[in-house]
Structure 1
Amino acid sequence: MAKKVSGTEPMTFSGFKSVTKSQLIWRQLKRHQLGIIGGIILILLYGFAFFAEFIGPYSSDLQVRGKAFHPPTRLHFFDEDHNFSLQPFVYNYKLVDRVFKVYRPDPTVKYPLRFFVRGEKYKFLGLIPSHIHLFGTEGPGHIFLLGTDKFGRDVFTRLLFGARISLSVGLVGILISFSIGALIGGIAGYYGGVVDNVLMRVAEMIMAFPGFYLLLALRALLPTALPSTTVYLLIVFILSFIGWPGFARVIRGMFLSLREQEFSLAAKALGSTDLRIILRHILPNTMSFVIVAATLSVPGYILGESALSFLGLGIQEPQASWGNMLAAAMNTRVLVSFPWILLPGFLIFITILAFNFLGDALRDALEPRMRTSRRTFTG
């Protein structure tokens, strides 16, 4: 017989538990497989870039004489007599054609692959001295996992150091431009009036110029013979200067709307200062948009740095960046004969895809209204 439930008794729900907002966001992110893949790729790329000195078997500017355009070195587990070895090894390569850079492996000379080997001295992040590398060969042998460039420098090592430049430009540039955009857009949207008109007209003037040509013009105004650190900072500044206006306009619109919401008006009625209202009530409500927009904007900054370095206006040799490494592929003969020179372009492509996948996933998780409207439009 069913038990009667009094109307005054509180109803309890067994088997249910409250879920926090962060848990809901993570649950939504896990459903976006491409976003998870993009996030994993970015973690790996930034991890490899961070530990570049340790992972790379050589320094980025080490030139090995007689090894220009050396092909990628193959790892072997079987020797010429088909004897199996648990420890991989590499053969020595002989240059048989100096004009066309043709190499042939010499099975009579082999070098075992070692892990945590002693190599060139370096300072990890410029601070901690060490000479231990993740892998390498003993004796006079060399291992070039991804071949060498025209100067006999290891492409794999230079890709690691180039990633440190190209990937960090995106993060630092976004941090600066979004900070400027949030400040200017927030002031314009919150106070309105003359302040709004002046700041937005300045932003529109910058946006009126094509971004890439403005980027080239600003860089061309500065000397080319500058230290790499100075060039890096200049590139970050130029990219940030070009990038903040669009973000400021969006933040301005959000502030115009949020300042009229009940929580903002209530805080003002209770005597809160403008700064407190902006920092405690309005700005937190824009963070989901900021995170999504920043993730989707990073590829543009990476492409900007790569384009400048590709054209010889960015990071200069011997400092490695993906852009100046890709500049070697402008020669048709090099491109056809030594296709591994294109690897920086492949990494740029993969990085941009990863950021876009992650940005889409964050947008779906943090901005469900945008997800709903997009599905309605496409469906």
Structure 2
Amino acid sequence: MISKLPLIGRKHRSRNTPETDAAVDEASAQRSSVSLTWRRFKRHKLALVSLWIVIGVYLIAIFADLIAPRPAGDYNADYPLLPPQSMTLTDPGDGRGFGLYVHGYTQEIDEVSWNRYYTEDPDELHRIEFFVNSGHDYEFLGLFTTDRKLFAPADPDAPFFLMGSDSNGRDIFSRVIYGTQVSMSIGLIGVVLSLVIGIALGAAAGFFRGVVDTVIQRITELFMSIPSIPLWMALAAAIPREWGPLTIYFAITVLLSLIGWTSLAREVRGRVLTLRSEDYVVAARLDGASRVRVIRRHILPGLTSHIIASVTLAVPAMILAETSLSFLGLGLQPPVVSWGVLLQEAQNIRSVITAPWLLIVPSTAVVIATLALNFLGDGLRDAADPYGGATR
């Protein structure tokens, strides 16, 4: 038995060609790199939870028309400034059937202050159903027209405001869901544009050096020397107010990307200056590879961890920038719905005192999204760092 084992091993090895062995070794190395990165990332529990939160937020943005019970601009004049509504799980023995219900309301108006006061009517219940006909048609992902909603009252006229309503009787929950589309997409698109600009200028400055480096660094320092908020205000104020909502949305996205590339360019430049003197880079240049190929195939792959960290940290910065501009009245404007627009509508002191949910709900969405993206960036940076230590 023992004497046959080497023969079996030699016979098995003789079936493989050198090309097959090289392909197997390369595939194993790639799988090993991915698996090691994923294993390091899973050890960062907070980043793993943040990953699922970010995925959930973007799924909400994609399926906003299905999830939001009402259209963003739909209003009910009978229920302005209604507090957040709770759902009730009924007893099967009460004759209504087991399920989720919301109460109706009775209203009283103070003749002195003209404030409305709502009281739940225990005898009026409206059943919540799933995939119900809402009576509001929309294009589902641009594929077909439907009026189905994920959950809503069976009676379309029933009051249903899970997170309260604003002064016009519009559902805050639905508006925050639709605001997710605009705020999260601005962050993603703006980061992609700033990523291209930052990597291109930073790599060129670090690799070519000389006059190219000097010019790019002076431009970068010029943008970084100007305070961010005044610069945003000045550029946003230059956008004509007569432009349509879609044009303003595109202009704000480009504006934020043209400002947000400076820090990434500085980081990329510093890393390229370090890597350009590495042996494998020098060998590639001596072998006749072009400068663009050296940067693209040999230098940029070594910046993966830094680029990932910069991207995931830049997305919340873009979201906060859009929120700040819209809050100041210089960014997106109604009828466009974003988290910044919702905060701008709730900035008066009367809303803060009498209807605090107008401020709490959109600000909570901003905080959750930015924290999740920041923690996700920390986890991805540590997992993609090749010098992060051995993995057990």
Normalising by structure 2, we get a TM-score of 0.86
Corresponding position of 2:119: 104
Q: Distance in 2 between matches of 1:174 and 1:151?
A: 35
Q: Describe the SS at the equivalent of 2:255.
A: helix
Relative to structure 2, which stretch is displaced further, 219-228 or 291-300?
Answer: 219-228
Give the deviation of 1:226 after TM superposition. Answer: 2.3
- Indicate yes or no: 2:86 matched with 1:66: no
Corresponding position of 1:137: 153
The aligned amino acid for 1:122 is Y
The aligned amino acid for 1:153 is R
Give the deviation of 1:368 after TM superposition. Answer: 5.6
Corresponding position of 1:355: 373
Q: Distance in 2 between matches of 1:101 and 1:217?
A: 41
* Structure 1 pair 45–214 and aligned structure 2 pair: CA distance change class (3 A): same
Q: Distance in 1 between matches of 2:52 and 2:107?
A: 39
- Indicate yes or no: 2:244 matched with 1:227: yes
Q: Distance in 2 between matches of 1:263 and 1:348?
A: 44
* Structure 1 pair 371–34 and aligned structure 2 pair: CA distance change class (3 A): farther
Equivalent of residue 193 in structure 2, options 158, 176, 179: 176
Equivalent of residue 144 in structure 2, options 128, 135, 150: 128
Give the deviation of 1:46 after TM superposition. Answer: 1.1
Relative to structure 2, which stretch is displaced further, 185-194 or 222-231?
Answer: 222-231
Corresponding position of 1:277: 294
- CA-to-aligned-CA distance 1:56-98 (integer Å, 9 cap, x gap): 111100011211111222212237x977842111222222226
- Indicate yes or no: 2:362 matched with 1:344: yes
- Indicate yes or no: 2:262 matched with 1:245: yes
Q: Distance in 2 between matches of 1:247 and 1:88?
A: 49
- Aligned 8 A contact 2:83 2:164 in 1: yes
Report matched runs for 1:292-307 at 5 Å: 292-307=309-324
Give the deviation of 1:121 after TM superposition. Answer: 0.1
* Structure 1 pair 96–371 and aligned structure 2 pair: CA distance change class (3 A): farther
Q: Distance in 2 between matches of 1:186 and 1:295?
A: 20
- Indicate yes or no: 2:54 matched with 1:54: no
Corresponding position of 1:376: none
Give the deviation of 1:190 after TM superposition. Answer: 1.4
Q: Describe the SS at the equivalent of 1:279.
A: helix
- CA-to-aligned-CA distance 1:279-304 (integer Å, 9 cap, x gap): 11111111221011111121111110
Q: Describe the SS at the equivalent of 2:168.
A: coil
- Aligned 8 A contact 1:53 1:124 in 2: yes
Give the deviation of 1:113 after TM superposition. Answer: 0.9
- Aligned 8 A contact 2:183 2:319 in 1: yes
Corresponding position of 1:288: 305
Give the deviation of 1:225 after TM superposition. Answer: 3.3
Give the deviation of 1:358 after TM superposition. Answer: 0.9
Q: Distance in 1 between matches of 2:50 and 2:229?
A: 26
Q: Describe the SS at the equivalent of 2:260.
A: helix
Q: Distance in 2 between matches of 1:96 and 1:261?
A: 76
Normalising by structure 1, we get a TM-score of 0.89
**Unpaired runs of 5+ in structure 1?**
1-16, 373-379
Corresponding position of 1:92: 104
Report matched runs for 1:160-175 at 5 Å: 160-175=177-192
- Indicate yes or no: 2:130 matched with 1:115: yes
The aligned amino acid for 1:102 is Y
Alpha-carbon RMSD: 2.4
Corresponding position of 1:311: 328
- Aligned 8 A contact 1:73 1:144 in 2: yes
Give the deviation of 1:107 after TM superposition. Answer: 2.7
Give the deviation of 1:23 after TM superposition. Answer: 0.9
The aligned amino acid for 2:106 is K
Equivalent of residue 148 in structure 1, options 165, 168, 186: 165
Give the deviation of 1:371 after TM superposition. Answer: 8.3
Give the deviation of 1:168 after TM superposition. Answer: 1.1
- CA-to-aligned-CA distance 1:109-140 (integer Å, 9 cap, x gap): 32111111112100124453211111111233
The aligned amino acid for 1:104 is T
Q: Distance in 2 between matches of 1:128 and 1:186?
A: 45
Q: Describe the SS at the equivalent of 1:251.
A: helix
Report matched runs for 1:181-196 at 5 Å: 181-196=198-213
The aligned amino acid for 2:126 is Y
Identity percentage of aligned residues: 38
Q: Describe the SS at the equivalent of 2:119.
A: strand
Corresponding position of 2:24: none
Corresponding position of 2:15: none
Equivalent of residue 46 in structure 2, options 28, 31, 34: 34
Equivalent of residue 197 in structure 1, options 189, 199, 214: 214
Q: Distance in 2 between matches of 1:38 and 1:157?
A: 23
Corresponding position of 1:218: 235
Q: Describe the SS at the equivalent of 1:71.
A: coil
Q: Describe the SS at the equivalent of 2:161.
A: coil
Q: Distance in 1 between matches of 2:278 and 2:159?
A: 66
Corresponding position of 2:36: 24
Q: Distance in 2 between matches of 1:102 and 1:53?
A: 31
Give the deviation of 1:26 after TM superposition. Answer: 1.0
- Aligned 8 A contact 1:161 1:320 in 2: yes
Q: Describe the SS at the equivalent of 2:102.
A: strand
